[in-house]
Chains A and B, each alone.
Chain A
């Protein structure tokens, strides 16, 4: 993954994340999500985006954070992985941010193992850290069979 480029940013808890907009990102609000009983716990449910079924992933669950008291937020970020559409349910969406390689740094090795799998690197912005997520891993790392 290229280290510089444009990122769509968002907040989950007090963490600030980015995913490359090159994969095709779109932001919407107020989707009514149909939950999936018996499905993987990370899957918040499905909703409809212009006739497509979108699988919504609850990022708080995915990142192993405390669940939001109000349930997953309504803001979601879409992207396409292979044939399927996914949405990340996040707390708040930030700006599109352009970064250069100068601010890039590898993931610190003492990061939580679950987070290290998803976070490919970090950009030191002026006021905070931008954690770069690997969208493919967000999807592929979900354990499909739940007990």
Chain B
């Protein structure tokens, strides 16, 4: 980077700061139109910009800034009073300047453009005019430049006096920087000491330098660790004292270094007063923004990540939340609504609250929309708790607004907010009432350091981010206690009566060809990613530790299993898993996403007790059959060659018993009778009947679906089918296990072994009450 480039970069950086300060000052000025100090600040900011742009020969920037400055000088001198039109014009000026600077940033040169309309307007106001004929609001005139009319052709119709001013400026400001270019920043800072807000100018340090220092400190910590182990074995007192001193200094150095990555949240918040003002203006509302705890610090990278979600939430609050002044008056609230931003530290997390005193979320409307969109049945929605209804607004595409405004209503919003926040290991919580809505974002202090669980797989250790870890357990196989079972090729584990799919790490990482045998003790880490809970089988769970996260470099872009790496205490490198990627890679997420029935809202909003789990399977010629899961004891793939005939029956040796195989197609109405074992292996649902295994031959087994009990209904009795359920607009037939068993000569309805099953099935069916 050459010298000029550097100076330009510094100018751009400074311009950015000036704009941020301008936004704040303008809004403050509107509330206190008589504050001469504020006007002075704004005037000086414009002036600084103008001076710098003159040095770089950015003529557009210079002209626009000059016109704005002229208007401001009139206000500062008390010739003109601030009114809404002037504020709009000044904000427009600020926007235009920002736009020009943004272009310079991209192209390194000033882009061509026409600012004469804006300059004319400013000029008109400077001359004491009112109600300049403009095409729309300030923002509109910025967005679309007005065609140049003949009379406004001359860019600045400067009066002789103003020309003199420019000349005077050029004499005072320009020569110094031009003569001594490297000193430019200092020269530009000339007017700065007058700024009332700044106390001492902090030094700007590039992020790369900080990162480098951070690395050096980490390295020093490692060197210190080795030194400490020497000290333990050494009897030299002076040496030990020196080592102890190095130890404490290193610790402090590390802590201070971490602090340099932190920035106060006000860096993000500075943009919000302007944002709130603009939205309030557009929607005709009166809104005040209160900021508490702007000094709360969090990691720089996290600040970036929360910027967009916060903007979205604040837009929502002002656009949806706060009522119009008349509505508010009718409700007995003050006409001016408020949005309160509050941020503080809590339990090692940064909490950001966004509270408005608006109408709150219209829960009945949310519920109604959810029903309209077919996300939930009308009967079901009546039973949902407030929290469950609120959860609907996180679903993609969900909006209660009928009209799409440019502010909100597209339905891409809260799901993105929640995803973004969850990506950085945080979470979102909403509370709402007629007095307002409060969103609470909890965010980890830093991404650079996070707690992780270290596990061993073969001879290497790996880290699992602790946010993903739910629990860790050791499974010891015992006789008669179901542990790890084979669920149609997927090993599953029964954890407190829930089936948790297992991923064997050694197999998943292709370190072993086969998963570990399941008949020996297993160490299982239960993790959750993308809403799916599953277990990772590891060789050993080692320890938990805070780790400094580092990137894995460009060569692992095609290997998304790792989210980063970290350096261990002994100097070795350990890889950090991306649990969501492992879930995808192992097929757990894909398997579930493949099946549209899992999109059922009941799974999206969490488990519900009014549901029954059923196994979805196909028969030849009849798809989407379900059978209650409590009838299913195992799933097997049986080789056709092993199936033997015993009289008219088909049997297979199953463990030490003989299992009778029942081709379901023969007993279910609508299925195609066909040759049974054309394939090499046959999928079989195993059901224990009076202690004897019975296998139902099916065509294909899919997965488990959660069936809301309310949607179960009895259809016309058909052979082998006891009723239907509707899940996500798909009709599925429920297999009548008893009837099939009776028809195949296996048992009767009155069989004691059946009582349980019968109750389980028909008991639930009767809830629906009657034939549809």
A-side interface residues toward B, CB under 8 Å?
32, 34-40, 42-43, 45-48, 50-53, 55, 57, 82, 84-86, 139, 142-146
Contact = CB atoms under 8 A, between A and B. Distances in A.
B79 interface: no
B555 A48 contact: no
A134 B83 CA distance: 66
Contacts of A46: 552-553, 565, 573, 575
Interface string B567-595: 10001111100000000000000000000
A47 B222 CA distance: 14
B460 interface: yes
B216 interface: yes
B373 interface: no
A37 B509 contact: yes
Central interface residue in A35, A46, A142, by most chain B CB within 10 Å: A46
B216 A50 contact: yes
5 contacts: A36-B575, A39-B555, A84-B551, A143-B558, A145-B559
Given A34-B574, A46-B573, A53-B550, A40 B510 contact: no
Nearest to A32: B572
Interface string B215-234: 11111001000000000000
A143 B179 CA distance: 53
Contact of B553 (A48, A53, A146): A53
> Interface range on chain B: under 10, 10 to 19, 20 to 34, or 35 or more?
20 to 34
B208 to A, nearest CB: 9
B556 interface: yes
Interface in B414-467: 460
A85 B571 CA distance: 17
Contacts of A35: 460
B229 to A, nearest CB: 17
Given A38-B509, A46-B565, A52-B215, A144 B553 contact: no
Given A50-B215, A50-B219, A55 B555 contact: yes
Contact of B559 (A36, A42, A48, A51): A36
Interface of B: 214-219, 222, 460, 509-511, 550-559, 561-562, 565, 567, 571-575
Instruction: Please list the 7 inter-chain residue pairs (A to B) with the smallest Cβ-Cβ separation, ordered nearest first.
Output: A144-B558, A51-B215, A37-B509, A145-B558, A51-B219, A46-B573, A34-B573
A85 B553 CA distance: 8
Contacts of B558: 40, 143-146
Given A46-B565, A48-B567, A39 B556 contact: yes
Contacts of A39: 555-556, 559
B575 A146 contact: no
A143 B460 CA distance: 25
A51 B556 contact: no
Given A34-B460, A46-B573, A53-B573, A84 B553 contact: yes
Contacts of B510: 37-38
B225 to A, nearest CB: 13
B509 A48 contact: no
Contact of B556 (A36, A86, A139, A143): A36
A53 B551 contact: yes
Contacts of B574: 34
A32 B461 CA distance: 13
A108 B360 CA distance: 76
A32 B222 CA distance: 15
Contacts of B218: 51
Nearest to A40: B555
B216 A139 contact: no
B511 A37 contact: yes
A39 B511 CA distance: 12
Given A38-B561, A50-B219, A53-B550, A43 B573 contact: no
A132 to B, nearest CB: 22
Given A38-B559, A45-B573, 6 more contacts: A39-B556, A40-B555, A46-B573, A51-B215, A51-B217, A144-B559
A48 B573 CA distance: 6
A33 to B, nearest CB: 8
Contacts of B565: 34, 46, 53
A147 to B, nearest CB: 10
Contacts of A55: 552-556
Contacts of A40: 555-556, 558-559
Nearest to A45: B573
Central interface residue in B215, B551, B553, B571, by most chain A CB within 10 Å: B553
A45 B460 CA distance: 12
A47 B574 CA distance: 9
B655 to A, nearest CB: 36
Contacts of A52: 215, 550
Nearest to A85: B553
A29 B571 CA distance: 14
Contacts of A146: 558-559
Nearest to A52: B215
Contacts of A38: 509-510, 559, 561
A46 to B, nearest CB: 4
A144 B567 contact: no
A51 B552 contact: no
A53 B511 CA distance: 23
Contact of A48 (B214, B556, B571): B571
Nearest to B221: A51
A71 to B, nearest CB: 13
Contacts of B216: 50-51
B632 to A, nearest CB: 34
B575 A47 contact: no
A53 B552 CA distance: 7
A52 B571 CA distance: 11
Contacts of B554: 55, 82, 84, 139
Contacts of A86: 553
Contacts of A37: 509-511, 561
Nearest to A143: B558
Central interface residue in B552, B561, B567, B573, by most chain A CB within 10 Å: B573
A64 B749 CA distance: 70
A55 B91 CA distance: 50
B253 to A, nearest CB: 13
A70 B242 CA distance: 42
A48 B547 CA distance: 14
Nearest to A55: B553
A34 B509 contact: no
A32 to B, nearest CB: 5
B19 to A, nearest CB: 29
A111 to B, nearest CB: 25
Contacts of B222: 48, 51
Given A34-B460, A48-B567, A53-B550, A43 B555 contact: yes
Nearest to B505: A37
B457 to A, nearest CB: 8
B205 to A, nearest CB: 18
Given A34-B574, A38-B510, A47-B572, A139 B215 contact: no
A43 B556 contact: yes
Contacts of B511: 37
A42 B610 CA distance: 53
Central interface residue in A51, A55, A143, by most chain B CB within 10 Å: A51
Contacts of B562: 36
Contacts of B551: 53, 84
Contacts of B561: 37-38
Contacts of B559: 36, 38-40, 144-146
Given A34-B575, A35-B460, A37-B510, A142 B552 contact: no
Contacts of B215: 50-52
Given A34-B573, A48-B567, A51-B216, A142 B555 contact: yes
